[in-house]
Chain A
Amino acid sequence: MPGDPKPILAVEGLSIRFRGQSQDLVDGVSFDLAAGETLCIVGESGCGKSLTALALMGLLPQPAARISAGRAVFEGRDLVTLDAEAMSDIRGNRMAMVFQEPMTSLNPAFTIGDQIAEAVRRHRPVDRAAARARAREMLDRVRIPAPDARLDEYPHQLSGGMRQRAMIAMALANDPALIIADEPTTALDVTIQAQILRLIRQLQAETGTALILITHDLGVVAETADRVAVMYAGRIVEEGPVAAVFDDPQHPYTIGLMASVPSLGRRAGRLQTIPGLVPAPEAMPAGCRFAARCPFAEPACTAAAPALAAIGPGHRVACRRAPLESHVAEAAA
């Protein structure tokens, strides 16, 4: 972030490649995150959001995928070069992850209380009683009613929303500097999603934890983000303060995505669409990866990948024709 000399996380050119492929699937992802800041990563399925998160957490599927280039400096250390032991000291401690489906990360055989206490004892020299007290405190923190009783319940005894609260409690148990939440509310009903998003905002104000929130829902972005990074086919195509990206969308993909969302207001004709499909991961096109779907594409777009370049304060876009109106005659709409 300009003007902020010390981001807690600085990602630079992060690239991920699958075994046997000649191209990077996630290609040159760069962003900075300041303490206490929320960055939303938004994009359609398959664009590499989860892979980016897993790479930062040292959890890429091994040996299928590896980081092929780049750095990710977190609290002064490059996560990309850390060994497995150093990574597991950081994971669940200085940085923690919340997944879409809490059942994949909660162990069905242990109580919620035991699992949170265990997460505490893995990183702190405290006795069982102190760890259990911390677990209870965390359940209270995430507004789980009757925390004493919940401590001794098993994951399957909780509703989806309560399980997600328990996951957040576990993630926060060691006061991390950074939480990465991958679609934390996607599997939840809309009234429960609203509760969890509010909880996340409240906890962030209380704890000052930085947050990377991954979502495909522009509504969730608008409600949660300080800054937003739009991903398409493995690359960040636009990044900036949330108001700038929503009020002044620059990349054709961002514009097309926003224009495709039906509004809650009165119907205004057919929806706008983005033609075509996302490219197959094993056949990423050369140059701008959006070119085959972009109504503004010109032959030069496929020659070289456009760089993510500044277009406004803290606002960057990877399109050789941005800002569009300086290249495209405006329609008298």
Chain B
Amino acid sequence: MTAPAETVAPVLETRGLERRFVTHRPLFGAPTVVQAVNGVDLAIREGETFAIVGESGCGKSTLARMLIGLIRPSAGEVLYRGRDISHLPAREMRGLRRELQFIFQDPFSSLNPRMSVGRLIEEPMQAHGIGTPAERRARVAYLLGRVGLRPEHAGRYPHEFSGGQRQRIGIARALASGPRVLIGDEPVSALDVSIQAQVVNMLEELKDEFGLTLIVIAHDLAVIRHMSDRVAVMYLGEVVETGPVDAIFEAPAHPYTRALMTAIPAPVPGSRPETAGIVEGDVPSPTAPPPGCRFHTRCPFAEARCKTERPRLAPGPGGRLVACHLAGRLPDFAPRTLAPGLTSGAARRFGLWRAARGGDVATSKIPPAEERRP
């Protein structure tokens, strides 16, 4: 997979994007305000897979929802193909939704339980006046097949499906209107590993087939490395590092990116030295973010100016942008790129598995038991 060239005009762009939420409004005195997204500038290129990563509460979902106009920014703008969509009237925004679709994290709550699967997938087409009833039904059947379900599933209801299957239904629904951009908010986080792998592969195939631009929010760094061309790392509402996935994973420049990479447990016994640099402390409350660099309360390299002066995104090696006063002057960092199965014994068994699986085709000769219901 090669990242689309830099010269391609961005399909989505944000400029100084901000979103504040008032969480508490007392009778007297100042309201409590959460600065969920604070001054984000991003450019997402046509046809790429762009990942947004960060810990809970850092503003990923808020950013994603602003990107497709599900919520409005407090300041800044969102440009879709060069046009500011953040202040469009509701009716025009609904029309645009045909091109910008969302996959929700929780397959259990994001589907209306009273609608059949066929209705759920047909509804976006109806809403946008796409096709005749017969054409819509044919497309429902096609999409069901494409996400690995059967046409007869159209008559069933969401509760009859497992988490992984519901996520497939959500994906079919998102694809129904023929979108150009698909945003997945933790689309595979709630799934078990073996099901997650099925859905990740499927998303990649669909992206190729439908020529989509994919934006994925995830907290699993390995999933991001596998799926995306570029990544933005967020901390407390701000992008601290962004650029090509390979450059950033091979040499993370921002201390917070490094902390994330150090923290993930690698599936290789004995691979973590006991002295590894785990960052201390909790993520500060977004109602009272630290001044200066928001990471300075946990950063092992923080200096005096970090406490007062906000670092801005600036170009770094490998086509990335990084927001750190000490960028380029930090000690080298050896990232952990360990994969399971480094030993010959494990590699040999993985080879047997691959061969027996014969690509993506189910090869078990035993008929499946009744499908699992939640």
- Residues of B at the A interface (CB closer than 8 Å) are 1, 55-56, 162, 164-165, 192-198, 200-201, 204, 219-223, 225-226, 246, 249, 259-272, 274, 278-280, 282-283, 335-341, 343, 345-346, 348-358, 360, 362-373
Contacts and interface: CB of A to CB of B under 8 A. Distances in A.
Given A222-B271, A272-B353, A191 B197 contact: no
Most chain A beta carbons < 10 A, residue from B193, B261, B262, B371: B193
Given A262-B225, A295-B357, A331-B352, 9 more contacts: A222-B267, A256-B194, A258-B340, A261-B340, A262-B226, A263-B338, A264-B261, A264-B335, A280-B372
Contacts of A259: 340-341, 350, 353-354
Contact of A274 (B194, B225, B226): B194
Contacts of B201: 270-271, 273
14 contacts: A194-B262, A197-B265, A243-B269, A248-B343, A250-B349, A256-B353, A259-B354, A263-B338, A265-B337, A267-B1, A271-B201, A278-B372, A279-B369, A295-B356
A190 B194 contact: no
Contacts of A217: 265
A285 B369 contact: yes
A interface residue count range (under 10 / 10 to 19 / 20 to 34 / 35 or more):
35 or more
Contact of A272 (B197, B274, B367): B197
Contacts of A283: 369-370
A145 B200 CA distance: 41
Interface string A177-191: 000000000000111
Interface of A: 44-46, 159, 161-162, 189-195, 197-198, 201, 216-223, 225, 242-243, 246-250, 252, 255-267, 270-281, 283-285, 291-299, 301-302, 324-325, 328, 330-331, 333
Contacts of B351: 330-331, 333
A190 B337 contact: no
Contacts of B200: 262, 271
Contacts of B223: 262
A251 B278 CA distance: 34
B340 A273 contact: no
A44 B193 contact: yes
Contact of A46 (B274, B370, B372): B372
Given A325-B352, A328-B352, A191 B360 contact: no
B339 A265 contact: yes
Nearest to B345: A248
Nearest to B266: A219
Contact of B346 (A162, A197, A249): A249
A214 to B, nearest CB: 14
Nearest to A158: B282
B350 A255 contact: yes
A333 to B, nearest CB: 4
Interface of B is mostly: loop
Nearest to B272: A223
A61 to B, nearest CB: 17
Contacts of B1: 267
Q: Report, nearest first, the 4 A-B pairs whose CB atoms are least far apart.
A: A219-B265, A331-B355, A263-B339, A295-B356
Nearest to A253: B194
A191 B259 contact: yes
Contacts of A277: 162, 164-165, 195, 368, 371-372
Contacts of A258: 267, 340-341, 346, 350
A64 B148 CA distance: 35
A217 B220 CA distance: 11
A262 B372 contact: no
Contact of B348 (A161, A198, A284, A325): A325
Contacts of B263: 190-191, 193-194
B2 to A, nearest CB: 11
Nearest to A219: B265
Nearest to B348: A325
A242 B270 CA distance: 10
A192 B352 CA distance: 37
A264 B348 contact: no
A296 B366 contact: no
Choose among A242, A262, A267 the residue with the greatest number of B CB atoms under 10 Å from its CB: A262
Given A46-B372, A219-B266, A280-B370, A275 B362 contact: yes
Nearest to A241: B269
B339 A264 contact: yes
B343 to A, nearest CB: 4
B349 A264 contact: no
B372 to A, nearest CB: 4
Contacts of B283: 159, 189, 191
A270 B354 CA distance: 11
A72 B283 CA distance: 41
A68 to B, nearest CB: 21
B357 to A, nearest CB: 5
B193 A257 contact: yes
B260 to A, nearest CB: 6
